């Protein structure tokens, strides 16, 4: 059994905790306010009849240290608070999107000289960051799961600089109930950022591949 560490207990973090425990992962969940604030959520996740893995609350550092695979799902403005050392050498899934109205303006994102996941990779130099789960509504993480081979199975995009890390995340996505579409390196993660054709819609692998190919940078719109 594999342990999934989740840093961030918002909508996506909660949905991933539910989906992962349903397929037998043990989940260590954390937020910025402390594990004592997650008691109700942990109880609710643990009481579900479909649950096969365990779930517990911890600090962000503890969740990072415990996870064989780690999800960072925090607002962009909080990326600097993500613990570095506990995530060293680990595959880290980044779900983030850039919302200037929430995060404040970041010049390198505004002029598109970098991406959110590249920023996280810079913050976590010894980790292997893979962008994923940023373009799906939280409710769909649990509602749209289907077995491999299902016609029109929903697909999720990934991007990363480490081929082995991407294989790990693609396998996890498949276990959860989705196909994976590889965009290439982290720098290509912009193809699934907000306002692009693939951001939000429920698309199978073929249509998602077409959508990300049609994406335009903001400066080219």
User: What one-character-per-residue DSSP string does 138-168 give?
Assistant: HHHHHHT---TT-TT-BEEEEEES-HHHHHH
Strands 26-30 and 3-7: parallel
pLDDT confidence bin for 221, thresholds 50/70/90: low
pLDDT confidence bin for 97, thresholds 50/70/90: very high
* Cα 147 versus chain centre, distance: 20
Picking from 111, 107, 5, the residue whose alpha carbon sits closest to that of residue 53 is 5
Picking from 23, 1, 2, the residue whose alpha carbon sits closest to that of residue 141 is 23
Give per-residue pLDDT as tens, 15-49: 999 999 999 999 999 999 999 999 999 999 999 99
Output the six-digit token pair for 171: 């396998």
- What average pLDDT score do residues 203-219 get? 95
Output the six-digit token pair for 206: 């073929």
pLDDT confidence bin for 189, thresholds 50/70/90: very high
Please give the pLDDT value at position 95.
98
pLDDT confidence bin for 219, thresholds 50/70/90: confident
Please give the pLDDT value at position 1.
58
Give per-residue pLDDT as tens, 3-15: 999 999 999 999 9
Please give the pLDDT value at position 218.
83
Output the six-digit token pair for 70: 């780690």
Residue 60 near residue 30 (C-beta atoms within 8 A): yes
Please give the pLDDT value at position 82.
98
**Apex 116 CA angle, 76 and 157, nearest 5:** 115
- What average pLDDT score do residues 172-189 get? 98
Please give the pLDDT value at position 124.
98
Please give the pLDDT value at position 69.
98
Where does 29-136 have alpha helices with state H? 39-46, 60-66, 100-103, 107-110, 116-123
Distance CA 96, CA 14 (A): 15
Picking from 188, 207, 187, the residue whose alpha carbon sits closest to that of residue 197 is 207
- What average pLDDT score do residues 77-101 get? 96
Strands 26-30 and 155-160: unpaired
Residue 64 near residue 71 (C-beta atoms within 8 A): no
Give the chain's domains with CATH numbers.
Answer: 3-220 (3.40.50.720)
| 198, pLDDT greater than 80 | yes
Q: What is the mean pLDDT of the chain?
A: 96
User: What one-character-per-residue DSSP string does 124-140 give?
Assistant: STTSEEEE-SSSS-HHH
In the chain the first and final C-alpha atoms are separated, in Å, by 46
pTM: 0.96
Q: Which helix (H) or strand (E) holds 181?
A: strand 179-182
Helix/strand/coil percent split, the chain, to 5: 45, 15, 40
Please give the pLDDT value at position 220.
76
């Amino acid at each position: 059994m594999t342990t999934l560490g989740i840093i961030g207990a918002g909508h996506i973090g909660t949905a991933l905790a539910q989906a992962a425990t349903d397929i037998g992962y043990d989940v260590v969940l954390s937020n910025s306010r402390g594990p004592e604030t997650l008691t109700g959520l942990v109880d609710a996740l643990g009481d579900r009849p479909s649950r096969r893995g365990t779930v517990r609350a911890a600090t962000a550092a503890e969740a990072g240290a415990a996870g064989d695979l780690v999800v960072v799902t925090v607002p962009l403005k909080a990326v600097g608070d993500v613990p570095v050392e506990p995530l060293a050498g680990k595959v880290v899934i980044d779900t983030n999107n850039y919302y200037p109205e929430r995060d404040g303006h970041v010049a390198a994102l505004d002029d598109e000289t970098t991406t959110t996941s590249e920023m996280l990779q810079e913050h976590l130099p010894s980790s292997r960051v893979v962008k994923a789960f940023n373009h799906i509504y939280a409710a769909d993480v649990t509602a749209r799961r289907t077995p491999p081979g299902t016609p029109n199975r929903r697909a999720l995009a990934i991007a990363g600089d480490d081929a082995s890390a991407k294989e790990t995340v693609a396998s996890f996505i498949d276990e959860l109930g989705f196909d994976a579409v590889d965009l290439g390196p982290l720098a290509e993660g912009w193809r699934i950022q907000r306002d692009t054709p693939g951001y939000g819609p429920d698309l199978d692998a073929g249509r998602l591949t077409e959508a990300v190919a049609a994406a335009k940078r903001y400066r080219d719109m």
